[in-house]
Chains A and B, each alone.
Chain A
Amino acid sequence: MPAEKKICLSAVGLTKIFGFGSSKTLAVDHVDMDLYEGEVVSIVGESGSGKTTLAKMLLGLLNPTEGDIYFQGVKRDISSHKKKQEYWKNIQAIFQDPFSSYNIFHKIDAVLLDCIRMRGGGKLPKEKKVELMTEACSFVNLKFAELTNKYPFELSGGQMQRLMIARIFLLKPKILFADEPTSMIDACSRATILDFLMQLRNEIGMTVIFITHDIGLAYYVSDNVFIMEHGKFVERGSADEVILHPKAAYTQRLISDVPKIYEEWDLSTV
C-alpha cells in the first residue's frame, strides 16, 4: 500500500453557467473534487448531468464561470497560449467517437508526429521518429508499418481508438480523461481498449478519469466513483461502496434501472 498518496488535480467550487438572462443553464454547480495520483476514477451521470462540461473545464478546454483548479497543489494558470501548452503536456484526453477524433484530410501519421513534437522531439531524425511511432503502435498491438500513410477512413473504429491510446503512450501525461472511450466500440473489442488503458496506467502511474453513463463499466474499471446529477455530485466513494451499497436515492435508482444477469432484475420499480 503506497504511503502518502499525493493529490494531482483538485477543483474547488467549480461552476459553469451557459447563456445569460432568462435562458441561463447551470451545467456544473459548485463542484469540489480531489484526484489522487495513479488512481482510476469514474464520473458517472446520464446525459445532461454536466459530466462532460466538468471534464472540459478540468481539461482546460472550457473556462469556468467560477471556482479554481489546482494542479499539483498550485493554482492553475492557463491565461496564455504557452501556459496552456505546458499544461497539456501533463493532461490529455481520449474521446468517445474514434471517427471524429481525426482530421479526415490528414494521414494518421500526423497525429503521432504531433505527439513527438510536443515531447520536444521535433528535430529528431526521421528514423528515430519512425522507431518511436512503431513502439507506440506495438503497445496497442498495431503494426505501424501497415498503418503509415493511411487515411482515417481506411481504419476500423477499434484500430482508431487504439491509435488514440498509442498517442497517449507517446505523450505520457500525468492525467488522462477518457470520455466514453468504449461506447462506440464493439463489445468484443471493449476489453482490449480497457486493458491497454490500465496497462498504461500501471506503467507510467497515470491517473485515469473515466466519464461515462455506463455504471457497469465504472464498477469494472475504477477504484473510486463519483455519481453526478444536475451538475452536482450526489455520491462519491470507492466502487464497491457506491455500487454495491448505494446510499443516495439517485444512485439506487440508476443501479436498479440497469439490467442484471446474476441477480433478479426488478421491473416493478419503474
Chain B
Amino acid sequence: MAEVTLEVKELTTKYITRYNEDIYAVDHVSLKVEEGKTLGIAGESGCGKSTLALSLMGYYFAPLHYTSGEIIINGQNITGMDPDHVRKSILGTEIAYIPQSAMNALNPTRKIINFIEDVYQAHDFYVTKKDIYDRARSLFETLGLPAEVLQKYPVELSGGMKQRTVIAVSVLLLPKVLIADEPSSALDVTSQKMVIKMLRQLMENDLISSLIFITHELPLLYNVTDDIMVMYAGQIVEKASAKEAVFDPLHPYSKGLMGSIIVPEQGLRDVKLAAIPGVPPNLKNPPPGCRFAERCSYCRPECRVMSVGLRKVGHEREFRCLYSEEELRKAYLKEANQYAR
C-alpha cells in the first residue's frame, strides 16, 4: 500500500462577500493522492478548482475562509494550525503551490538568485549564499534550465522561461506535494509543452512525490496525470483514472466535457462536438438536489430535490449521480443509437 502524501476529508471553504453572504466555493471535497501519483482536477471557470488549490495550503486570505474538513499532509493534520507555523514549516517544504501566471511573482528589480535567497530566508533556513547557488544550479541543470538564468533579471527572460523558473524554485525545498494551478495557460503552445515536460521530469527525478495539476484543458490532463477529478459547482462529480475519465466518462457533465474536446487529430471532423446548454448554478443559493440537474438531459424529477452523494465503482472510481452505473450506460447507449440513425 503506497504512502498517502495528501489526504483531504470533507473540506469546505467559503467566500464572504462584502454584503456578508456566504458562498461555499468548495463543498465537502475529499481526495487522496498517493506517493508517485499525479492527480488532475478538471472543470470550467467558476467550478471551484482554483479555490480548492488555495484551500489546500491551509493558509487563508480574506475573503476566503475555512469552514470545515481536514487536510492531512504526509500524516500531519494541518487544519487549524497557526498560520505562521504553516508558512514557515509547511508551505514550500511539505507542500508547494504555483498559482496561475506564477511568473508574475518575480520581482522585476531583483535577479533570480536573489529571489531564491529570499525563499530560503523566509523559511528560516540558514544556508550560505554559495550553498544556495550550488543547490539552485544543480536543480536547474537537472531540469534542463540553463544556469545563466540565475544571474538574470525577470525582464530578460521569456514567458515560458519565467514560468519554468518559478516552478523550479517552488520545488527547491523538496516539498512532497506540488499543486500547479493552470501552469501553462498564459503561454504559447511550445512553452506549454516545455512546462509539461518539466512537470513530468519533476516526478521522474523524484524531486516531488505527488503532483496535483489543475486546468480546464483536458488533453493536457490526459497526458500528465494518472487520475482525473472533475469538479462542478464546488463539488466533485467524478473521479477516475485518466483513461477512463476521458474515454469512458460516467457523469453526464463529464461526458459533455470530454465530448467537447478539440484536438487536431484524425477523426475529429467526423464527430459532433458535445454542448451543454445553460450555465452553472449561482453558488449563493445552490439548488437543493443535484447541482447539474438544470442542464442534464437525463434529469428525472427526483434529481432536483434529492441530495446526491458519491457512488463508488470498483476500488478507485467514483461519480455523483442518482442513476446507477448500469442505468447511465444504458441511457448513453440509447442516445448513441439514436444518433447513428
Q: Do A and B truly interact?
A: yes
Verify if B330 is at the interface (C-beta below 8 Å from A).
no
The 8 A CB mask of B186-206 against A (1 = contact, 0 = none) is 001110111011001000000
**Once bound together, how far apart are the Cα atoms of A239 and B270, in whole Å?**
13
Interface-forming stretch among B4-12, B131-139, B261-269? Answer: B261-269
Verify if B217 is at the interface (C-beta below 8 Å from A).
yes
Q: Are B217 and A262 in contact (CB under 8 A)?
A: no
Verify if A110 is at the interface (C-beta below 8 Å from B).
no
Q: A residues 251-270 with Cβ under 8 Å of B?
A: 253-255, 257-263, 265, 267, 270
Q: Are B216 and A259 in contact (CB under 8 A)?
A: no
**Once bound together, how far apart are the Cα atoms of A267 and B189, in whole Å?**
12
Q: Are A186 and B222 in contact (CB under 8 A)?
A: no
Verify if B45 is at the interface (C-beta below 8 Å from A).
yes
**Once bound together, how far apart are the Cα atoms of A213 and B264, in whole Å?**
12
Given A259-B222, A261-B261, A265-B223: A188 in contact with B44 (beta carbons within 8 A): yes
Verify if A244 is at the interface (C-beta below 8 Å from B).
yes
**Once bound together, how far apart are the Cα atoms of A224 and B69, in whole Å?**
53
Verify if B340 is at the interface (C-beta below 8 Å from A).
no
Q: Are B193 and A257 in contact (CB under 8 A)?
A: yes
Q: A residues 106-141 with Cβ under 8 Å of B?
A: 141
Q: Are A216 and B262 in contact (CB under 8 A)?
A: yes
Residues in A with CB closer than 8 Å to B231 are none
Residues in B with CB closer than 8 Å to A5 are none
Q: Are A215 and B264 in contact (CB under 8 A)?
A: yes
Interface-forming stretch among B28-36, B80-88, B97-105, B272-280? Answer: B272-280
Set B218, B220, B264, B273: member contacting A191, Cβ < 8 A: B273
Q: Are A188 and B196 in contact (CB under 8 A)?
A: no
Q: Are A260 and B260 in contact (CB under 8 A)?
A: no
The 8 A CB mask of A63-91 against B (1 = contact, 0 = none) is 00000000000000000000000000000
Q: Are A257 and B189 in contact (CB under 8 A)?
A: yes
Verify if A149 is at the interface (C-beta below 8 Å from B).
no
Closest partner residue, chain A, to B222 (CB atom): A261
The 8 A CB mask of A191-221 against B (1 = contact, 0 = none) is 1101100000000000000000111111110
Closest partner residue, chain B, to A184 (CB atom): B45
Given A254-B189, A260-B219: A190 in contact with B260 (beta carbons within 8 A): yes
Closest chain-B Cβ to A1's Cβ sits at a distance in Å of 18
Closest chain-A Cβ to B280's Cβ sits at a distance in Å of 9
Given A187-B216, A188-B275, A191-B274: A216 in contact with B188 (beta carbons within 8 A): no
Closest partner residue, chain B, to A264 (CB atom): B223
**Once bound together, how far apart are the Cα atoms of A9 and B262, in whole Å?**
29
**Once bound together, how far apart are the Cα atoms of A192 and B276, in whole Å?**
8
Verify if A231 is at the interface (C-beta below 8 Å from B).
no
Residues in B with CB closer than 8 Å to A175 are none
Residues in B with CB closer than 8 Å to A218 are 264
Verify if A189 is at the interface (C-beta below 8 Å from B).
yes
Closest chain-A Cβ to B150's Cβ sits at a distance in Å of 22
The 8 A CB mask of A157-194 against B (1 = contact, 0 = none) is 01000000000000000000000000000111111101
**Once bound together, how far apart are the Cα atoms of A262 and B261, in whole Å?**
11
Closest chain-B Cβ to A96's Cβ sits at a distance in Å of 15
**Once bound together, how far apart are the Cα atoms of A219 and B265, in whole Å?**
8
Residues in B with CB closer than 8 Å to A244 are 266
Residues in A with CB closer than 8 Å to B44 are 186-188
**Once bound together, how far apart are the Cα atoms of A49 and B44, in whole Å?**
29
Closest chain-A Cβ to B266's Cβ sits at a distance in Å of 6
Q: Are B263 and A262 in contact (CB under 8 A)?
A: yes
The 8 A CB mask of A31-54 against B (1 = contact, 0 = none) is 000000000000000110000000
Closest partner residue, chain B, to A187 (CB atom): B260
Q: Are B192 and A257 in contact (CB under 8 A)?
A: yes
Residues in A with CB closer than 8 Å to B246 are 261
**Once bound together, how far apart are the Cα atoms of A104 and B267, in whole Å?**
42
Q: Are A257 and B265 in contact (CB under 8 A)?
A: no
Given A259-B222, A265-B223: A220 in contact with B269 (beta carbons within 8 A): yes
Verify if B78 is at the interface (C-beta below 8 Å from A).
no
Residues in A with CB closer than 8 Å to B277 are 141, 192
Q: Are B263 and A190 in contact (CB under 8 A)?
A: no
Q: Are A255 and B264 in contact (CB under 8 A)?
A: yes
Q: Are B190 and A158 in contact (CB under 8 A)?
A: no
Set B261, B272, B276: member contacting A189, Cβ < 8 A: B276
Q: Are B269 and A263 in contact (CB under 8 A)?
A: no
Verify if B256 is at the interface (C-beta below 8 Å from A).
yes
**Once bound together, how far apart are the Cα atoms of A189 and B219, in whole Å?**
17
Verify if B52 is at the interface (C-beta below 8 Å from A).
no
Closest partner residue, chain B, to A215 (CB atom): B264
17 new A-B contacts, CB < 8 A, other than A216-B264, A257-B189, A259-B193, are A156-B279, A186-B44, A187-B216, A190-B275, A195-B275, A217-B262, A219-B269, A220-B269, A254-B189, A258-B189, A259-B222, A261-B222, A265-B219, A267-B200, A270-B193, A270-B194, A270-B197
List 8 A-B pairs, minimum CB-CB distance, nearest first: A191-B275, A191-B273, A259-B219, A216-B262, A188-B276, A257-B189, A219-B264, A186-B44
10 chain-A/chain-B pairs, Cβ below 8 angstroms: A46-B188, A187-B257, A188-B44, A190-B260, A253-B190, A255-B264, A260-B264, A261-B261, A265-B223, A270-B197
